[in-house]
A and B are shown apart, each in its own frame.
Chain A
Amino acid sequence: MTQDSASSPTPAAKPPPRPYYPNGNIAAGYNPPGVRNTSSVVPLHPGKPVVHDYACDGPAPGNLAFRWTYGSNIAARNRDPRVQIVQYNEDTFVLRQNVCVHWEAPFTYLLFGNKGALLIDTGATADARHYPLRETVDAIVARWCQARGRASIPLTVALTSGEDIAQNQGLVQFAGRPGTTIVPKPLAVMKQFYGLGGTWPSGTSRIDLGDRVIEVIPTPGTHKDGVSFYDPYCDFLFTGDLLFPGKINIGNDRDFLSSLERLKAFAAAKPIKWLLGGHVEMMFVPGKYYPRFATYKPYERVLEMTPELIDEAIVHARAVQGKDMMLIRPDFVLFNGVSPDQRTKVWPEGVPNIDAPHPF
């Protein structure tokens, strides 16, 4: 520093000393601009429920800082948690089912607002001894309520697809839970619940969690009752089985394409940081994926996808429309009208063909 200023012919004015608050600036509010959207500073002894300000410029901060549990070579010897919890931020939780409890290893999302909580999807195993989802959610809710000075908070359980047995099995664990609304599974009743009976599959609905309003977008295509959820706080789009980094088994290719196009229109109007799907089946090398029923997936791709993938999916959904074929892309694979175990020798042009090492 001294050498720089000595060699410089016109030394710059010395910047004013920066204030230094080793224990935090007591003059600043609880949520100063940089951390405005986190509630990391909550009153120690809240007299009344803490009301969080969910309005923010841009996506709320948060990260998926942990690696997902990925099963083990010997599935019977796996000792990972049955439900892995990763806290994205103080009001957003991502839960993953252990690969060795069920190979589908679905992701489940728990979102909190000032007046309610939303659980998106419920996992692939009904037996609470093998997959204690209810117990885990109860624990997170209790802890959140404690931090926010509440006795309880109403919970809504919604599914990205009522018919998908990789996502609806845990629902039975929530039967009879007090203060819980379960979105009905059958398509007709579900449409009525969301108020989409007349407009399905266009139009959107909303689930108000209290200053955090989740939008419900009908997205049939992989399942005839598929819906996606948009969270305007984190700017996440929860796409379930419609678009995820894995083997996308298309249920109806016309619906699939039109749902993607509706998602694209939606994404043009709303800011989207990530798409979060229901599973991960791709490896971290492009275009490679794990077979069905695999209980050891050490080289998984990350869960999050960027919104540009909607455009890529649209292009390739058009390519497979009306044909019985599979199509490999770097971040997902489309299966239209073929067996979920279909294989192909066609490799996408311009994508490096890398083999991940085979674990012994």
Chain B
Amino acid sequence: MDRRTFLAHNAAVAAVPLTGAAFTAATDAASAATRPAPIDFRSNLPAAGAFPKRWICGSSSCMDNTDPPVQVHWYNPHTAILRQNKAYSYEAPFAPLYFGNDRVLLLDEGYVQLRNDCDYRAVVDQCIDEWCRRNGRDPASLELLVAFTHLHADHYAATNQFADRPNTRCMGLTHEEMVGFWGMRNYPEERVTLDLGGREILIWGSPGHVVSEFAYYDSYTQILYTGDMFYRGRCYISFWQPWFDSMKRLIDFCDTHPVTHVMGCHVEISKDGQDYAYGMTWQPEEAPVEMTVDQLREAFSHAQKITQPGIYFTGTVFLCNQTRGTTTIDRNPYRYE
């Protein structure tokens, strides 16, 4: 398959709802006899769910860390949120795993490449097995979509662990492949709908932190997943105007859609607003990952006043406007006169 065909293939598959397509007809027929009634993802919205009181957040001594490599938190029975251990990767990204009747969407794959070092694939497989056991489903009948929020290695490093997984499709690691994967023709404005089988995920472009980034809205839990473009920590804004436009799109979306939580990929701030410097492997008093729509609006109203590069605190997040990638507001504590 040449590159052009490959891109077209992905786009075509995502654009056409797969439930009736020939692609899954065979598996549908095979499992139709044993498959239980589909789960209803469209009523009693938003689906209830809860974030944990406290995530695993590293340890004072990394080599004495006894937490699992990836923490799995079931937000509700059909939504898992994964977090990588800080002693395996200081970036410790969060990654939701959304289950539908036909397919599963994994957003973000952590910052460790090798299964030998951190077996992300096994964690995801285990989650899928568990969900299938609970719902009387055959894991082989579920398609896994391995996608990510944006084109940074702490979000796609483990993608290759899924390369040989059956019934799996992985997002490519270029802007064109990413946009093509969701079948978008007008990035970033176009909003597309991904059908996981009764559960719809709305996806649109959200550039600003990097050029290639998406925002994901799950219509079932009504969680708005904003990637690294807006998260509880230092939002590194590489391109101001695209970022501001993306914020506007998020606000507009919140005006027209119910949103329960806004969730980013990292946490780099403590409960009392202290900054955890870039690279830290222990965040004992870490703030929760989920934010409210009000906090998003508040950040946007701050952003409207920003005209110069620099670091601005909105009360929830730091907006690092066109500063370097690893900027912190840290100082040398031993300065003296």
Contact = CB atoms under 8 A, between A and B. Distances in A.
Q: Real complex partners, A and B?
A: yes
Interface of A: 73-80, 82, 98, 100-103, 125, 127, 129-131, 163-164, 222-224, 249-252, 291-295, 335, 337-341, 343, 360
B279 A291 contact: yes
Contacts of B113: 360
Contacts of B112: 74
Contact of A103 (B281, B324, B332): B281
Interface in B32-73: 60-65, 67, 69
Contacts of A75: 62-63, 65, 87-88, 281
A125 B60 CA distance: 9
Nearest to B114: A360
A77 B63 CA distance: 6
B336 interface: yes
A337 B335 contact: yes
Given A130-B60, A339-B328, A74 B280 contact: no
B311 to A, nearest CB: 10
Interface in B319-337: 324, 326-332, 334-337
A188 to B, nearest CB: 14
A250 to B, nearest CB: 8
A125 B61 contact: yes
Interface string B270-295: 00000001111100000000000000
A249 B335 CA distance: 9
B330 A127 contact: no
Contacts of A292: 277-279
B233 to A, nearest CB: 14
Contacts, number: 102
A73 B279 CA distance: 14
B334 A295 contact: no
Contact of A293 (B118, B279, B331, B332): B279
B117 interface: yes
A335 B60 CA distance: 26
B85 interface: yes
Given A293-B277, A295-B62, A73 B117 contact: yes
Interface residues on chain B, size class: 20 to 34
Contacts of A291: 278-279, 326
Interface string B286-311: 00000000000000000000000000
B75 interface: no
B326 to A, nearest CB: 6
A225 to B, nearest CB: 10
B158 to A, nearest CB: 12
A82 to B, nearest CB: 8
A74 B279 contact: no
Contacts of A224: 334, 336
A74 B61 contact: no
A335 B63 contact: no
16 contacts: A74-B112, A75-B65, A76-B62, A76-B63, A76-B88, A125-B60, A130-B61, A130-B64, A249-B332, A291-B326, A292-B277, A292-B279, A293-B280, A337-B335, A338-B332, A339-B327
B90 interface: yes
Contacts of B85: 76
B331 A339 contact: yes
B334 A163 contact: yes
A338 B85 CA distance: 31
A335 B85 CA distance: 31
Nearest to A74: B117
B330 A340 contact: yes
Given A75-B88, A76-B85, A291-B279, A341 B61 contact: no
Contact of A100 (B62, B277, B280, B336): B62
A77 B89 CA distance: 12
B280 A131 contact: no
B326 A102 contact: no
A41 B199 CA distance: 80
Nearest to B59: A76
A294 B279 contact: yes
B65 A341 contact: no
Contact of B334 (A100, A125, A129, A249): A249
Nearest to B68: A76
Given A73-B117, A74-B88, A101 B279 contact: no
A293 B90 contact: yes
B60 A127 contact: yes
Contacts of A251: 332, 334-336
Nearest to B329: A339
Interface string B7-43: 0000000000000000000000000000000000000
Given A76-B87, A360-B113, A339 B60 contact: no
Given A127-B60, A251-B334, 6 more contacts: A82-B63, A100-B63, A103-B281, A224-B334, A224-B336, A337-B335
**B90, B118, B332 — most chain A CB neighbours (10 Å):** B332
Contacts of B279: 291-294
A254 B118 CA distance: 48
B330 A341 contact: yes
B157 to A, nearest CB: 9
